Amino acid sequence: MAAGRGRGRSAFAGWLASAAGLVAIDQIAKAWVLAELTGTIAVLPSLNLVLVHNPGAAFGLLAQAGGWQRWFFIVVGVVIAVFITEWLRRSARTGRTWLCAALALVLGGAFGNLWDRLARGAVVDFIDVYYGRYHWPAFNVADAAITIGALILVLASFRGDRPDDREAGNS
């Protein structure tokens, strides 16, 4: 039993390190954008880099709310991060790799955007995907991680959220 708990702690630490690495990548990208980006840079057809400060939520929701939304989103972000951290801690003991990967992506993304709200008062977005005149709202590495993590969570739920075969003794 103790060995299982130790393995769970070790797995949990690894997933937390993954989330922290994602926060670092997100913040490095944002620091580069803030220091270097002046205007719009066309990267590929239908992909630009452009600096946007988003004081609201996804798609600019509540961006014009007058400032109170910053603290609201900080509180919501902290509550969600605590919930996901605990979920990840419990899941790390079970051998559910896909679930843990999804939670680490969402956690890293949440902390990346929370960092922005605390340090800058708004989330720094810079990835502009478009088709013709139609632009998807600008987003960042943290947003992409949250989206990918959420998609993996949905797929993991279809999988029945069962332990990996090697953890179940079927390797």
Choose among 12, 149, 161, 13: nearest CA to 89: 12
Considering 26, 116, 128, 143, which one is annotated as catalytic? 143
Q: Give the CA angle between residues 126, 143, 110 to the nearest 5°.
A: 125
The distance in angstroms from the start CA to the end CA of the chain is: 21
User: Is 26 tagged catalytic?
Assistant: no
Alpha helices in the chain (DSSP H): 2-36, 68-92, 97-120, 141-158
Whether the Cβ atoms of residue 109 and residue 146 lie closer than 8 Å to each other? yes
DSSP 112-162: HHHHHHHHHSSEEEEEEEEETTEEPPPB-HHHHHHHHHHHHHHHHHHTTSP
Is 125 known to be catalytic? yes
H or E stretch at 48: strand 47-54
Cβ atoms of 126 and 29 within 8 Å: the answer is yes
**Tokens linked to 41:** 């840079």
Which residue out of 125, 128, 161, 165 is catalytically annotated?
A: 125
Which residues are catalytic, by number? 125, 143
